[in-house]
Amino acid sequence: MPVVLANGIEIAYDDRGSRTDPAILLIMGLGTQMIAWPEAFCDDLAIRGFRVIRFDNRDVGLSTKFDAPSLDLGAVLQRVMAGEKINPPYDLTDMAADTVGLMDRLAIKKAHIVGASMGGMIAQIVGDARSHDGDHASASRRQRPRVSGPARHENLQSDRQSGFSDAGRRIKN
């Protein structure tokens, strides 16, 4: 697997299809390597005319590992539910910045971004940040039905106040 330096870390990735085809970036969820995206699925997308890029998030697979104590996710969840502040070594905005850094290193200006589980959250942050940059990335925003008319405007205002926009803007800094 090739590796690039992006956002100050090494990111292992797989790239198939023609570099001139529209890009699809596949982001896997928590603790799961890129190889969880099935080979046949990736090959089928490439055959259909897409450049398919999948990669290992930080602390997963062949990408950079951080020297941090292993997390007991149950204990962390209990602390969060109790209102305690946690100080993780990185967060989703850092992982979204990794994704944008990989896109930059691979000279990808536009991409369809597909995420599984936590990868979907990362995809939303990237899509939001890239849209504010004037670049184009498509990513699903929410599991909410589309609404037309005046209610649509209210939902957009609600999305802007949810924190996704602010989190996305931090990627640019």
Residue type (1 letter), 28:
M
Query: Which strands sit side by side in the sheet containing 51-55, from one edge to the other?
Result: 3-6, 9-16, 51-55, 23-27, 110-115, 136-138
Query: For residue 165, which of 114, 126, 120, 115 has the smallest C-alpha distance?
Result: 126
Distance between CA atoms of residues 27 and 42, nearest Å = 12
- Provide mean pLDDT across the span 115-127: 95
Domain boundaries, the chain: 3-172
Residue 5 has pLDDT above 80, yes or no: yes
DSSP 63: S
Domain 3-172 has CATH 3.40.605.10: no
Instruction: Work out the pLDDT band at 78, boundaries 50, 70, 90.
Output: very high
Q: pTM value?
A: 0.74
Distance between CA atoms of residues 55 and 53, nearest Å = 7
Contacts of 100 (CB under 8 A, 6+ apart): 7, 126, 129, 130, 171
* Alpha-carbon separation of residue 83 from 2, 75, 78, 162, 164 (angstroms): 42, 13, 9, 19, 21
pLDDT for 76 equals 87
pLDDT for 127-163, tens place per residue?
A: 887 565 555 455 543 333 333 334 333 433 333 333 3
pLDDT for 163 equals 37
